[in-house]
A = this chain, B = another copy of it.
């Protein structure tokens, strides 16, 4: 973990991950067209983004192909249809997929050796009680030649002692990065500070990185990502126009506009937003509307807000507020 960069310059170790297709896939069952995925891929290349998460490695048995699009499983032939024989060496871009712990991913069969895949990285997502499963997955993926991350989700509802234990286990594993994941978009900057410092301390001396994955329920995704960067997090997630589940993620256009590394280019991001992402608003709802503000403030999973936004009266904010107060 390097020192803070001076304000006007930048930290070359800081790497940006685009998870537009992966996190966005949670609002459309990963039913992106090849053209949409290709547009995001080309944008990542043109913008100098370091990682692109192209989807989930989830089990077809549990997530049937009849209902979910190709980007819920990231099979090699689907990915190659879009990215060709992509390599990191050729492009400077690493492709990643996310595999969930706890049985959602048939990782023993689905994940092939890294040398045979266009993927460079597997990010393992788990709830804290699934940490042992997650570490088993990480060791498996490391053995297959992948760079890995550990994304402990919903961290705003995890007891401090459990976070400490999970970090201790993670720090002993072969994982490359441990990511602070604010799934509920609940955390304020003082809490981000606390967690980033804790994660940093946990991986000290191991060569592992700390990452940040923020949600925008309280319009704090960008602010909290900047905060994590200030404190030394070197792996940060963002999506085009904040596309992502519920309130969405840290907007890439804000993040790249903030970063001072001249390798990052904003123009292709704006172009992709205009041509590819914004048109999706006609089909899908995302962003920090009032129902997501409410679940964020109450430290709740956004699923009730998502259901409300898909229901008969998506803008009956007061109805959602009253229901939520009654339910909790």
Chain A positions near chain B (C-beta within 8 angstroms): 7, 188-190, 216, 218-224, 226-227, 230, 251, 253-254, 257-258, 266-267, 270-271, 273-274, 278, 290, 293-294, 297, 315-318, 321-322
Contact B188 A258 (CB under 8 A): yes
Cα of A115 to Cα of B302 in the assembled complex, Å: 50
Decide: A318 near B274, CB < 8 A? Known: A254-B218, A293-B257. Answer: yes
A301 to chain B, nearest CB (A): 17
- Sort A-B residue pairs by CB-CB distance and give the 3 closest, nearest first: A223-B223, A257-B297, A274-B317
Cα of A297 to Cα of B267 in the assembled complex, Å: 13
Contact A189 B293 (CB under 8 A): no
User: Could you write out 15 A-B pairs with CB less than 8 Å apart?
Assistant: A188-B226, A189-B189, A216-B219, A218-B257, A219-B223, A220-B222, A222-B223, A251-B293, A257-B297, A266-B321, A267-B321, A270-B318, A270-B321, A271-B318, A278-B315
- Beyond A267-B322, A273-B290, list 18 extra A-B contacts (CB 8 Å): A7-B190, A189-B189, A189-B223, A218-B254, A218-B258, A219-B221, A219-B223, A219-B251, A222-B223, A253-B293, A254-B297, A257-B293, A266-B321, A267-B318, A270-B294, A274-B318, A278-B315, A278-B317
Contact B219 A254 (CB under 8 A): yes
Cα of A251 to Cα of B258 in the assembled complex, Å: 22
Cα of A271 to Cα of B219 in the assembled complex, Å: 20
Contact B220 A293 (CB under 8 A): no
A284 to chain B, nearest CB (A): 17
